[in-house]
Amino acid sequence: MNAPTTAQHLMPAIALRDVPAALIDTLKAHFGDRCSTAMAVREHHGRDESAYTTVPPPAAVVFAESTADVAFAVTQAAQYSVPVIPFGIGSSLEGHLLAVQGGISIDVSRMKKVLSINPEDLTVTVQPGVTRKQLNEEIKSTGLFFPIDPGADASIGGMSATRASGTNAVRYGTMRENVLGLEVVTASGEVIRTGTRARKSSAGYDLTRLMVGSEGTLGVITEVTLKLFPLPEAVSAATCSFPSIEAAVHTTIQIIQMGIPIARVELIDQNAVRMVNAYSKVSLPVQPMLLMEFHGSPASVKEQAETVQDISSEFGGQAFEWATTPEDRTRLWTARHNTYFAGLNSRPGCRVISTDTCVPISRLADCLLDSMAEVEASGIPYFLVGHVGDGNFHFGYLIDPDNAQERATAETLNNQLVARALSMDGTCTGEHGIGLHKMEFLLNETGAGAVSMMRTIKKALDPKNIMNPGKIFLD
C-alpha cells in the first residue's frame, strides 16, 4: 500500500454524519426532480478545482430556485443536524465544496436573476448564482461594470463567500470592499438581511463583512448587493517583458509606491509564458512579463501609461505592446487568463496545487524570489502568476496526483512559502480562502486568540455545526 498522499494526510479525519432517509424523502417531496441522488450529480457537487483526493460525495443535491427553497432545505437539514454545503459553479481551489462530514449540497446556480439594477446609484442586486460575466453582460447598456475578476467565471455568491478578488483589485478593491449588503439564510433557516444600498454606514456590527469570506460556514448567501463603477472613458492595456522577475517586481513596487491608479498589474513568469505559447499558439517573448491596464480619462490614461513606461524602462522593461481596442485587449489578456489551463495542459494528467500568499508590497521581491529558488531546486514543474500590485502571487505546482512524493514536495514548498510570507507580516491566502487546505496556516497567521474568537462566533451562530462544517477550522 502506498503512503497516504499529502492531501489525504492534511485532510481531517472524515467522520461522515448520518443523512436520514426521512430528510431525503422530505426534500424529494418538496423539490421533486430538483433534488437529485444520482451518483454523477452528487460526484459533480462533491469536488472542486482543488487537488484534493475525492471524499465521498454529498448524499443529495438540491437545486434551489429561490431564497425560500434554500431556507426550506436548511430548515429541514437543521432538524436532523445534517451538514449543508452551498454550491455555485464549483470553482473553489481550496476544497470548500467537499462533503468532508457528509450532508447535502445546495446548488444555487439556478438562482441567476439580476434582481435590480440602479445605475444612478452605481449598485446592483443579484441572486448568488449570477456569474461575473453574466452580470457584466446584463449591465452593459448602463455604462457601468463590475470589476472583480478572479479569473474563473465564478458565481457572485461564491466570490462573496470566499472574499475573492483578482486582477482588478489593485484599483477597485476586493469583494470585501464591493459588497454593500446581503441576504443570508442562517443555520436555523431564518432569512436575514445585512447592509443597505448606502455607500457607507455605521449601523451596528458589520455582518456583511462577517459573511463575506465566511466560506459557507455561517450561512447561505441568497442575494448580494454590489457596487458598480462607471466604465472608464479610456482604457489602455500593455504588456512589457523584463530581463528578470526581480526587475518586473521592482517596477510594480515603484508603481504602487508612487500611487499611480493602475487598474491591473499582473506578473507572469517565463514558465507561464512558455506554457501559454504552447497552449494558445502565440509567440510571446519567453521572459517574465507584466500585463497592465490603465483606466481613466484619455489624458489620465496617457499620463499613467507614460509614467509606467518610464519606470519599466528604468528596470530594463522592453517589447512594450499596447492595446486600446477591446479586441486587442482581450487578446493580450488571454495569455493571463489561460495560464491555469495552459499549465494543466503542459503536463498531461497533472493537477495544480496553487499557492496564494500575499505580502506587504515592500517584501514582495524577497518573498517571491526566495520561494522561486526553492521550487527551482525541488524540480517540481511550476508556473508563477501574480496580482503583484497587491503583493499577491500564485505558484502553480504541477504535480502528478498519484505521486505521493511530488505531493509531499509541493506541500513542503507551500509550507515554506507561507512561513516566509507570515514572517513578513503577510497572509497565507490573498483571495482563495482557507477551505480544507490552510487551517494550520490560519492558526499560525492570526494566532490562537483570534481563531478561538472565530470558533466562538461559529458556535454561537451555528450551534449544530451544519453550515459547511470542517472548513476554516480543524474540528
CB of 438 to a second copy, least distance (A): 7
- Give the span between the Cα atoms of 461 and 467, in whole angstroms: 10
The half-sphere exposure of 13 on its side-chain side, counting CA atoms within 13 A, is 2
Candidates 47-55, 79-87, 224-232, 335-343: pick the segment binding a second copy (CB under 8 A).
224-232
C-alpha cell at 395: 505558484
Positions in 89-128 near a second copy (CB under 8 A): 118, 120-123
Decide: is 438 part of the binding site for a second copy (CB under 8 A). yes
Positive/negative CA dihedral, 305, 308, 314, 319: negative
Q: What angle do CA 287, 291, 295 make, to 5 degrees?
A: 160
Piece of the chain touching a second copy by CB under 8 A; list 30-38, 338-346, 409-417, 449-457: 449-457
Q: Does 346 bind a second copy (CB under 8 A)?
A: no
**Minimum CB separation from a second copy for residue 25, in Å?**
29
The distance of closest approach from Cβ of residue 348 to a second copy in the complex, given in angstroms and rounded to an integer, is 31
Q: Smallest distance, Å, CB 299 to a second copy?
A: 6
The rounded distance, in Å, linking the Cα atoms of 261 and 171 is 6
- Closest distance to a second copy from the beta carbon of 207 (Å): 6
Residues 238-297 that bind a second copy (CB under 8 A): 253, 256-259, 261, 296-297
Which among 40-48, 336-344, 406-414, 440-448 is the span making contact with a second copy, rule CB under 8 A? Answer: 440-448
Which positions ≥6 away from 327 have C-beta within 8 Å? Answer: none
| Three-state secondary structure call for residue 439 | helix
Out of 252, 429, 465, 468, the residue judged to bind a second copy by CB under 8 A: 429
Find the shortest distance in angstroms from Cβ 195 to a second copy.
8
For 319-335, give the DSSP string.
Answer: EEEEE-SHHHHHHHHHH
The dihedral sign for the CA sequence 209, 213, 216, 218: negative
Considering only residues 370 through 399, tell me which ones interact with a second copy, judged by CB under 8 A. Answer: 390-392
Write out the binding residues for a second copy, residues 301-340 only, by CB under 8 A. Answer: 303
Q: Distance between CA atoms of 99 and 434, rounded to whole angstroms?
A: 15
474 counts as binding a second copy under rule CB under 8 A: no
**Alpha helices per DSSP H over 131-290:** 132-138, 156-162, 169-172, 175-178, 207-211, 245-257, 270-280
Within a 10 A sphere around the Cβ of 403, how many other Cβ atoms? Answer: 14
Is residue 451 a contact partner of residue 473, using CB atoms and an 8 Å limit?
A: yes
> Residues 94, 433: contact at Cβ < 8 Å?
yes
CB of 136 to a second copy, least distance (A): 16
Q: Are 472 and 454 in contact (CB under 8 A)?
A: yes
From 82-90, 209-217, 337-345, 400-408, give the range in contact with a second copy by CB under 8 A.
209-217
List the one residue from 196, 324, 403, 412 that touches a second copy (CB under 8 A).
196
Among the listed residues 29, 200, 281, 327, the single contact to a second copy using CB under 8 A: 200
Report the candidate in 25, 68, 64 with the shortest Cα–Cα distance to residue 189: 68
Tell which one of 179, 454, 466, 467 touches a second copy (CB under 8 A): 454
Within residues 123-182, the interface with a second copy by CB under 8 A covers 123, 162-165, 169, 173-174, 176-177
Binder of a second copy out of 95, 129, 213, 469 (CB under 8 A)? 213
